[in-house]
Amino acid sequence: MLAGAMVLGMTACGGTDNAGQGSTSGGDGAAAESGTEAGDTKAADTQAAGGDKLVIWTLAKDLEQFADHYKEQNPNVTVETVVIEPANYVTKVQTALNGGQKEPDIIVGEPQMLEDFYDAGYFEDLNQAPYNAQDYADQIVDYVWDVGQDAEGIQRAISYQITPAGIYYRRDIAKEVFGTDDPEEVGKLFADYPTILETANTLKGAGYRIFASDAEINYFSGDSAWVIDGVLNVDQGRKDYQDLCVALYQDDLTAYANQWSTPWYQAMAGEVPILSADIQNYADDSVDVWNAESFAEATAGMDKTEVFAFGLPSWGVLTMRDNVQGTSGKWGVCAGPAYGFGGGTFIGISSQSERKELAWDFLKFCTLNEETANWWIEASQGDTVSLIPVLEAHADDANEIYGGQKLYKFWLEQAQGIDYSKVTRYDKFIGDEWGRATTAIKTGEKNKEDAWNEFYDQVESTYPEITVNR
């Protein structure tokens, strides 16, 4: 029975319920860490309490760098970092921890995974001694601190970074078309969805395109929760967002590039060919948008344009850094139509680890240590850390790629506006289905009514506990 065998992977190891109440095991010589101020934690003080090996399972490669840095300061500790494909990460963690494995010691999660991980009891309670994480609450940006808490407010994970979203725009184009490149003023061009559409049309009239893809506003579309008190909530903002996507697509207001494809990256550096809707949705595959080598040749005869803006979280700074080439210095960042954030790696201790003291030391090293945060800003060349004292210390840092703009100050302001209570465990699925409905409407595959009904049906059948009012 294939069907039975498929469920085997999920069930054979099941039944172990470690509700996160595990007391911290630790060696006799473990140093009590309670009450230590964030900045005072020195990695050199590490006591390899439960053994001198630490196993980390992560889906973000960042942690490899953190682990190397940790090893430099703790040469007697062996750190094994296993980077797992995001698509397989949750299943792998579930299988290991449901099977009662003592390793990994450190597990991570992205916001949409965390609620399930908390419920499963995978993460150690960090509010108890010797961790006393609550003592560090004021050191970390609020929304990040909240994401790391379970439904009962117990701290389970902490992130070293914040990921608020912003609109990255070309200052030179802004000046030419709108007469200003000031982030405050340009932000007004993105104040709400109808205004964005207006801005898009103005730019098209001037020979530019507002975005490379029509998905750039996605990070700002979550201004309300998808599910409120068990009821599906599709508010006007979601519908306006959908209308905007459809208009951007149908009125030729973008360059028809897909996010993360060759032309999308290329648009950061300047001119890109204006593709067609068919190329974007793969109905026409004469241009392989994922193949940088053949792309230039395949699009040689097409009209070209320059793209005005990208909507990305703060880690987009790194994406831009690697791709802006000749447009370096011509960029600015402003606020989008709503507060939003995307991703973020949250680090926690496995409740089944036998080396919790060491794991806690590593966790603090990555998230609550000023020296590490400063090192990470350098090492990552501009990632935005979550440690408030360090963010404040860098508030006046001018970023030359962005015309000297003070980005850390900007991201901190954006992060302070994020309301994490709007995030639910259903977001990924519902968001994907809403995106699918949007695609069906914009490509003409379905009319609005059919696409919405399909969306409602999908939500209803996948999560019967959600009430759907059509």
Partner 1 sequence: MRYGRRGPRPPFPYDMEEDMAKTGAMNSKKKDVNKIAYLFVLPFVIVFLVFSVYPVLRTFYLSFTNYKGYGDAVWAGLDNYIRVFKDKFFWKDLWNTVKIWGVNIILQLGLAFLLTVIFSDIKYKIRGLAVFRAVYYLPNLIAATSVAFLFKTLLDWKYGSFNQLLLMLGITQEQVNWLGSTSTAPYVISVIGAWMWFGNSFIILMAGVQGIPKDYFEAAAIDGAGRWTVFAKITMPLLRPIMLYVFVTSLIGGLQLFDLPFLMNGVAPGTAGEPAGTLQTVVMYLYKFGFETHQVGYASAIAYTLFFIILIVSVIQFKTLGKEED
Contact with partner 1 (CB under 8 A) among 53, 71, 239, 436: 436
Three-state secondary structure call for residue 326: helix
Among the residue ranges 38-46, 115-123, 208-216, 324-332, the one whose residues contact partner 1 (CB under 8 A): 115-123
Using DSSP's 3-state secondary structure scheme, residue 329 falls into coil
Distances (CA, A) of 66 to 290, 317, 354: 31, 19, 21
Among 282, 322, 381, 470, binds partner 1 (CB under 8 A): 282
Residue 97 interacting with partner 1 (CB under 8 A): yes
- Least Å from the CB of residue 261 to partner 1: 13
122 touches partner 1 (CB under 8 A): yes
Q: Please pick, from the candidates 235, 303, 400, 432, the single residue that binds partner 1 as defined by CB under 8 A.
A: 432
Q: Is residue 4 near partner 1 by the rule CB under 8 A?
A: yes
Which of 217, 205, 215, 219 is CA-nearest to residue 173? Answer: 205
Contact 358, 105 (CB under 8 A): yes
Note whether 50 and 356 are within 8 A (CB). yes
Residue 284 to residue 321: CA distance in whole angstroms: 31
3-state secondary structure of 222: coil
* Shortest Å, Cβ 370 to partner 1: 36
Reduced to 3 states, what is the DSSP secondary structure of residue 411? helix
What tokens were used for 466? 């959600």
SS3 state of residue 20: coil
Residue number, 12 or 228, with CB nearest to partner 1: 12
Using CB under 8 A, pick the residue from 52, 116, 252, 354 that binds partner 1. Answer: 116
With CB under 8 A as the contact rule, the residue among 285, 303, 322, 392 that binds partner 1 is 285
The label of the residue with tokens 């060696």 reads 27
**Cis peptide bond upstream of 337, omega within 30:** no
Window 241-280: contact mask with partner 1 (x via CB under 8 A): ----------------------------------------
Among 72, 119, 185, 251, binds partner 1 (CB under 8 A): 119
Per rule CB under 8 A, is residue 457 in the interface with partner 1? Answer: yes
E strands in 254-330: 272-273, 304-313
At closest approach, how far in Å is the CB of 63 from partner 1? 23
Name the minimum Å distance from CB 14 to partner 1: 7
Instruction: Tell me the sheet residues that pair with 333.
Output: 168
Q: For residues 108 and 86, is the Cβ–Cβ distance under 8 A? A: no
CB 212 within 8 A of CB 255: yes
Contact with partner 1 (CB under 8 A): which of 375, 420, 456, 463? 463
Q: Kindly state whether residue 12 participates in binding partner 1, applying the rule CB under 8 A.
A: yes
Residue 5 binds partner 1 (CB under 8 A): yes
87 lines the binding site for partner 1 (CB under 8 A): yes
- Of 400 and 432, which CB lies nearer to partner 1 in the complex structure? 432
| Dihedral sign from CA coordinates of 337, 439, 259, 86 | positive
Q: Is 32 in the site for partner 1 (CB under 8 A)?
A: no
213 lies in the site for partner 1, by CB under 8 A: no
445 binds partner 1 per the rule CB under 8 A: yes
Yes or no: say if 209 and 251 are a contact pair by the CB < 8 Å rule.
no
Please select the residue that binds partner 1; options are 54, 77, 120, 333, rule is CB under 8 A: 120
Q: Assess 464 for contact with partner 1 (CB under 8 A).
A: yes
Of the candidates 466, 27, 470, the residue with the CA atom closest to the CA atom of residue 229:
466
Q: What is the sign of the dihedral through the CA atoms of 93, 94, 95 and 98? A: positive
- The stretch among 5-13, 28-36, 203-211, 251-259 that binds partner 1 (CB under 8 A) is 5-13
Minimum CB distance to partner 1, residue 377 (Å): 31
Residue number with CB closer to partner 1 (43 or 157): 157
Letters for 43-72 (x = contact with partner 1 by CB under 8 A, - = none) are ------------------------------
Contact between 2 and partner 1 by CB under 8 A: the answer reads yes
Distance CA 161, CA 16 (A): 32
How many other CB atoms are found less than 10 A from the CB of residue 284? 12
Residue 429 in the binding site for partner 1 (CB under 8 A):
yes
Overall residue count recorded for the chain in this entry? 470
The whole-angstrom distance between residue 443's C-alpha and the CA centroid of its chain comes to 28
Cα separation, 195 vs 168, in Å, equals 17
102 binds partner 1 (CB under 8 A): no
Indicate the residue among 90 and 277 with the shorter CB distance to partner 1: 90
- Give dist(CA 275, CA 252) in Å, integer: 10
Count of residues engaged in binding partner 1, rule: CB under 8 A = 42
Closest distance between partner 1 and the C-beta of residue 296, in Å? 18
The contact set with partner 1 (CB under 8 A) reads: 1-8, 10-12, 14-15, 17, 19, 87, 90-91, 94, 97-98, 116, 119-122, 282-286, 429, 432, 435-436, 445, 457-458, 461-464
